[in-house]
Structure 1
Amino acid sequence: MLTEKRHGMIIAALSQHHFLSLQNLMKHTGCSASTIRRDLTKLQEEGLLIRVHGGAKLTQNQSELALEAKRTQHMDEKIQIAQQAAQLVKDGDCIYIDAGSTTLEMIAHIKAQNVTAVTNGLPHVDALIKRSIRTIVIGGSIKTTTLAVIGSRAADSLKHYSFNKVFLGINGIDCEAGLTTPDEQEAFMKESAMHQGLQTYILADASKFHQSYFARLHTNETPILITSKKAFSTIDFNLFKAHYEFLGG
């Protein structure tokens, strides 16, 4: 097979699956491991993909989308994930709901009674009030793209609360980089919330896996990832099971 044709097949396959393992690429092209490794090295040098542990992913714009744009993407997955997360909320819980499109979707599915919710997401406040959920909004600086309240003042205020459950959004999940987001202040908010919770849940659709961004979350907590059937059918979770626990699929 011509090198150019093989490279085209690799890029086309990655554009459909976000990430593919070396074994998947070998099967897809019918080529040996050594040939695929050479191809991946060449394509990475050309800036077309990034080699990661066990395979490769396409390069992409690392800038963060605005909340309204995020809300229109991967909606079937987000609804499925939101429903699973909402079922975890029990009567009398005090919960933290992070800013983000999937956590916002979760609010409509909460059926538990006598719940207190603390949030740093401005759109979340209206959604919580409409559900007659006692709501506390964190004060601080507002990030205009995601309408998240961030900053040291916001993070410090979380120390006044203890949460039964913390529900977080995330931008990237990678075996080597861990949990990441483009904004270090948002990362700090997520870390601060995790420290105040008995259990943390990360809400993540398939597009978040094998992605890595600027700011890492550093914590000794062990979060549980809530994801979708699509993620379980398209992502090689054997690469992640040593690092995370999962719900969903």
Structure 2
Amino acid sequence: MLKSERKRFITDKIREENTVSLEELTNLLETSESTIRRDLDELESENKLRRVHGGAERIASLQEELSNQEKSIKNVQEKMAIAKEALAQIDEGDVVFIDAGTTTELLVRELTFKQVTVVTNSIHHASKLVERGIQTIIIGGFVKQSTDASVGQLAVEQIKRLNFDKAFLGMNGVDENFFTTPDLEEAVIKQLIIENARKAYVLVDNTKLSQTSFVKVTGIEKASVITNKSLNVLTKNLKEKTEVMEV
């Protein structure tokens, strides 16, 4: 098969299934791993896909956002390690904000402190926290179906009045300068949370590094990043501008 035909096959496969593994492509195209790797590298340089460990994935649009259900099945082990590192940053007596999201949901599952107060904009998180007997304050507002996050002016006004010892947030994109997210209203909420926290942590698995979404939340120097180890060159650059905790 010609290189152009292989590359067309790969891009069609990515378009249909969103992700593809190196092993699968090697079997389907009946060629060597080294050949497929070169094809994937070329397609990445052409901005046709994004290379990930063991294969490649479709490049998301700036405004694309997966639902919590879709996010929950991706990179679970990495997210669990990130959540445990986040847990280690919480002290007894802290007032903590925990953002809506799948990685922060794992932090909620791990949280066993009784002498903490947790503020959250997630109905799902609030329910789990109350079950554990943890003092919980829930932010009101319009609930976004896809992410379970309370957004809008009511949420903004409530958050403006509160201060936090620590805040833990998810994010869709982290580049050399900014944290980004697809949604304008969620961006406002996240920015306020970071501003009102003595210490803010952004919890992202390394697939979010070097990614950019539609709306800038704030500069990366405003929060520490907790992520899993990555060969991504951005990690090195981030460490020059903010604290990066790799697990």
Q: Give the TM-score, by structure 2 length.
A: 0.77
Aligned to 1:245: 243
Pair 1:239–1:58, CA change in 2 (3 A) = farther
Match of residue 116 from structure 1: 117
Whether 2:236 is the aligned partner of 1:235: answer no
Q: How big is the shift at 1:210?
A: 1.2
Identity over the aligned pairs, expressed in percent? Answer: 32
Work out whether residues 206 and 230 of structure 2, in 8 Å CA contact, stay in contact via their aligned partners in 1.
Answer: no
Q: Secondary structure at the match of 1:217?
A: strand
5 Å-filtered alignment, 1:102-113, equals 102-113=103-114
| Contact preservation (8 Å) 2:167, 2:194 | yes
Cα 1:142–1:184 shift into 2, 3 Å: same
- Indicate if the aligned counterparts of 1:96 and 1:163 stay in contact, CA closer than 8 A: yes
Aligned residues between the structures: 222
| Residues 49 and 243 of structure 1: CA distance in aligned 2, closer, same or farther (over 3 Å) | farther
How far does residue 132 in structure 1 lie from its aligned partner after superposition? 1.2
Say if 2:197 is the partner of 1:197: yes
Q: What root-mean-square deviation, in Å, do the aligned CA atoms of Structure 1 and Structure 2 show?
A: 3.3
Equivalent in the alignment of 1:86: 87
> 1:220: how far off?
8.6
Say if 1:86 and 1:111, in contact at 8 Å, map to a contact too: no
Q: Name the amino acid aligned to 1:186.
A: E
Q: Which runs of 5+ in 1 are unaligned?
A: 18-27, 30-35, 51-56
Alignment of 1:157-168 (within 5 A): 157-168=158-169
In the alignment, residue 192 of structure 2 is paired with which amino acid?
S
Match of 2:70 in 1: 69
The answer (yes or no) to whether the contact 2:220–2:241 under 8 Å persists in 1 is no
Alpha-carbon distance between aligned partners in 2 of 1:100 and 1:59, rounded to the nearest angstrom: 21
Q: CA offsets, 1:37-89, max 9 Å, x none? A: xx877x24xxx258xxxxxx963345211111211111101111111111211
Q: Any conservation in 1 of the 2:113–2:134 contact (CA below 8 Å)?
A: no
* Inter-partner Cα distance in structure 2 for 1:153 and 1:220: 27
Counterpart in 1 of 2:96? 95
Distance 1:199 1:152, change over 3 A: same
The answer for the alignment partner of 1:21 in structure 2 is none
2:33 is aligned to none
Question: Deviations for 1:126-148, whole angstroms, at most 9, x for unmatched residues?
Answer: 11112211000001111111111
Listed one character per residue, the Cα deviations across residues 155-182 of structure 1 (whole Å, up to 9, x for unaligned) are 1111221110010000011115x21000
